[in-house]
Structure 1
Amino acid sequence: MKTLDSIDVTNKRVLLRIDINSEIIDGKVQDSPRFVEHSKTINELKRRKAKVVILAHQSRPGKKDFTSLKQHAKILNRYSNVKFVDDIIGKKALNEIKQLKSGDALLLDNVRKLKEEFNPGNNKFVKTLSKEFDFFVNDAFSICHRNQTSIVSFPKVLRSVIGRSIEKELKMLDKLKLKTRNLVYILGGNKPDDVILLINNKNVLTTGTISLILLKSRGYNLGKEENALKKDLKFIDVLKKYKNVKVPIDLAVNKNNNRKEILIKELPSNYLILDIGEKTVEAYKKEIENADAVFFKGVAGYTQDKNFQYGTRELLKAIAKSKAFSVVAGGSSSGAIEKFKLGKQNFGHVSLSGGALVYYLAGKKLLGLEVLK
């Protein structure tokens, strides 16, 4: 796959797709490692005297956090000098694009404000912007599995390459794939539809929502937790056949705002299950110690509450200390590394991606990469 090394961008206009989709708390867009990582590609293009125009998104129409990228631009400016225009394909945006000088960068507004973003093809979005550019650079690995205009349509009409962030992701994931003989997967979080794609691997340890669905599929009554799991119980039939996947042997419940650990034989519980227990952590740590490589996706518990951070913190600490090559994936997982001050340098690779990365490891084709081949 061609990289930035294969093109001369001097005095050329480059259309760059990044992913700075962020958490919003009390109306404020939160800084994240994505801004830092993508600024590396932006800064390189600027150093090489390109005229850089950036495409990005925030959430999707109908969601509470669907908003303009004005705040994102301010955060991005902590790492790279970037202008912002509250337009995408109108006269305002086109005028700003035409005025760019070599070494300038401009962020357009949320591409998901355009209905054309969700209807890929040679549409108005593509026709309007493509004639203004010499190259397209995709640096948004986390959304490469999406069939959307800014991912799959521009490469069909512009000479296209991958950015440094995608290049790094692919290099690290291919390294992980080479270590399949003794690779341990630790799958958790609250998005079972993501991690379920990896459940058929040889050595899988589960936490979070997927571990509870597995317990339910094996005949355990979870008690109060079953109401919270309603929308995910559809996966029970799929998971029933995976008898060798490891599940927790004890759990932590929220009893009157305190942590109480119970063995799974003590289920059902009248309290919500918010973490794995100490016995499970110890068992999983032994698996980590014996692994050549570890893939960690999704936190083990409700890390917003100090009472239920134990499982996630201890597993990540064990991975950081181990000799295994490790990949930690997803926003909540990378956020936990920062929260517990474990140091990214102690992990093989901390990925910016979640779903797309799982797709890639599961052997599924990513549309955004296929179109670049």
Structure 2
Amino acid sequence: MAWKTLDEMELNGKTVLTRVDINVPVKDGVVTDDTRIQRILPTIRDILAAGGKPVLLAHFGRPKGQRVPEMSLSVVRPALEAALGLPVKFAEDCIGGPAKQAVAALQAGEVLLLENTRFHAEETKNDGAFAAALAALGNVYCNDAFSAAHRAHGSTEGIARLLPACAGRLMQAELSALEAALGEPERPVVAVVGGAKVSTKLELLGNLVEKVNHLVIGGGMANTFLAAQGINVGKSLAEHDMTDTASEILTKAQAAGCNIILPTDVVVAREFAANAANETVAADACPEDAMILDAGPDSVVRIAETFEMSKTLIWNGPLGAFEIEPFDTATNAAALKAAELSEAGNLISVAGGGDTVAALNKAGAAERFTYISTAGGAFLEWMEGKTLPGVAALS
């Protein structure tokens, strides 16, 4: 572990510039889901307990370097105060006079939120002068925004090189979980990769076939792999222009000793609608006028058996059209099996990505997984084997 944690930093009396991700959904001026706020509370509370003064840096939306009133972080402040159980002071800028004055006035036991870092174009350009202006506000830098760690921005990468730096509790948990899943995992390792398109997960698949023992491919992606094997997938969502690439991945997997698991039976329907008339057929027997919307029960049994023989699971993407019933059946069954094995201590399960978290929550399995990552792009890039600038800067 090349990065430091809060436990290794001297925080008493120090102003701790803390990069967080509170880019939460808001409707009519009210936060509708405070999950990301809840996840940063341990870091803020530990800094306060150690005598530090947390000054929160964050982005909100994509204002593209302009001051956009509806993208002000002031809208998040009430939800942050409610979650913390403390008043949160607010500065109308993240650098310059307003920020300096607010930091200077901050007392022990208080929390300060600075305005949206992306109101400055220099943030996303990782401008050195902007990073220095941020760094001048504090004594210690703490990054607790793993979900933004794949961006080399002023508040995620530039500032980390200018101050004593460490990972916050959420960042620490994310990095520890991912290291356990892909760095030096307990084997055998199984990965589940689902979703609509092979083209969006090429690097991920290419990296995984060399690192895992079993790779389960689901969703629309599986249809492309079936088509690559010469199987007729009817009107199913499939990238027929990617079949050569899918074949290359299959060949690469074979050479690496990675067992690829594709559906052997599928659930098909003539329309993409909830409770549409459907039937289960062999994977190579999809009718010309039908589309594959889920993996079948035999496929689920095979996936469950693979989970049972594995020690580590990494999951990104659903196995079918999980948004509509009954085409969420395979995803739900596989998720509940993974949850059961995790709860029993027989499987280390790590999952991440927007659709994945939604699918596992819908299945009622998320809370029983070993770790659920709140990150989207950063989680994917880590799985792809890429270096994350915000993490690299901490070491």
- Measure, in 2, the Cα distance between the counterparts of 1:253 and 1:93: 58
Q: Shift in Å at residue 182 of structure 1?
A: 0.7
TM-score (normalised: structure 2): 0.82
Partner of 2:179: 174
- Establish whether residue 366 from structure 1 lines up as the match of residue 371 from structure 2: no
Match of 2:228 among 209, 217, 224: 217
- Measure, in 2, the Cα distance between the counterparts of 1:149 and 1:311: 43
Q: Shift in Å at residue 163 of structure 1?
A: 0.8
Partner of 1:98: 104
* AA of the residue aligned to 1:316: A
- Measure, in 2, the Cα distance between the counterparts of 1:222 and 1:43: 53
Partner of 1:17: 19
Q: Report matched runs for 1:175-324 at 5 Å.
A: 175-176=180-181, 177-190=183-196, 192=198, 193-194=200-201, 195-196=204-205, 197-200=207-210, 201-226=212-237, 235-243=242-250, 244-256=259-271, 257=273, 258-259=275-276, 260=278, 261-267=280-286, 269-271=288-290, 273-322=292-341, 323-324=346-347
Q: Shift in Å at residue 27 of structure 1?
A: 7.2
Give % identity: 29
Q: List gaps (5 residues or longer) in structure 2.
A: 65-69, 251-258
Q: Shift in Å at residue 119 of structure 1?
A: 0.8
Corresponding residue pairs, total: 365
Partner of 1:143: 148
- Measure, in 1, the Cα distance between the counterparts of 2:151 and 2:302: 37
* Structure 2 contact 132–162 (Cα < 8 Å) conserved: no
Q: Shift in Å at residue 134 of structure 1?
A: 0.4
Alignment deviations for residues 28-78 of structure 1 (CA, whole Å, 9 cap, x no partner): 54324322121110111122232211122234347xxx9333333333223
* Structure 2 contact 268–286 (Cα < 8 Å) conserved: no
* Structure 1 contact 297–354 (Cα < 8 Å) conserved: no
Partner of 1:76: 80
Residue 356 of structure 1 aligns to a residue in which SS?
helix
Partner of 2:359: 336
Q: Shift in Å at residue 271 of structure 1?
A: 4.9
- Measure, in 1, the Cα distance between the counterparts of 2:118 and 2:197: 23
* AA of the residue aligned to 1:251: V
- Measure, in 1, the Cα distance between the counterparts of 2:292 and 2:83: 40
* Structure 2 contact 187–310 (Cα < 8 Å) conserved: no
Q: Report matched runs for 1:48-87 at 5 Å.
A: 48-61=50-63, 67-80=71-84, 81=86, 82-87=88-93
Q: Shift in Å at residue 321 of structure 1?
A: 1.4
- Measure, in 1, the Cα distance between the counterparts of 2:34 and 2:301: 31
Q: Return closer, same or farther for 1:109/1:255 CA change in 2, 3 Å cut-off.
A: farther
TM-score (normalised: structure 1): 0.86
Residue 82 of structure 2 aligns to a residue in which SS?
coil
Alignment deviations for residues 282-304 of structure 1 (CA, whole Å, 9 cap, x no partner): 22111111111211112223333
* AA of the residue aligned to 2:131: V
- Measure, in 1, the Cα distance between the counterparts of 2:28 and 2:324: 19
Residue 245 of structure 1 aligns to a residue in which SS?
strand
Partner of 2:370: 348
Q: Return closer, same or farther for 1:116/1:224 CA change in 2, 3 Å cut-off.
A: farther
* AA of the residue aligned to 1:144: A
* AA of the residue aligned to 1:218: Q
Residue 24 of structure 2 aligns to a residue in which SS?
coil
* AA of the residue aligned to 1:136: Y
Residue 127 of structure 1 aligns to a residue in which SS?
helix
Alignment deviations for residues 243-269 of structure 1 (CA, whole Å, 9 cap, x no partner): 252222233345443342443223365
Residue 97 of structure 1 aligns to a residue in which SS?
helix
Q: Return closer, same or farther for 1:90/1:191 CA change in 2, 3 Å cut-off.
A: farther
Q: Return closer, same or farther for 1:138/1:235 CA change in 2, 3 Å cut-off.
A: farther
Larger displacement relative to structure 2 (303-312 or 353-362): 353-362
Q: Return closer, same or farther for 1:41/1:278 CA change in 2, 3 Å cut-off.
A: same
* AA of the residue aligned to 2:193: L
- Measure, in 2, the Cα distance between the counterparts of 1:355 and 1:292: 25
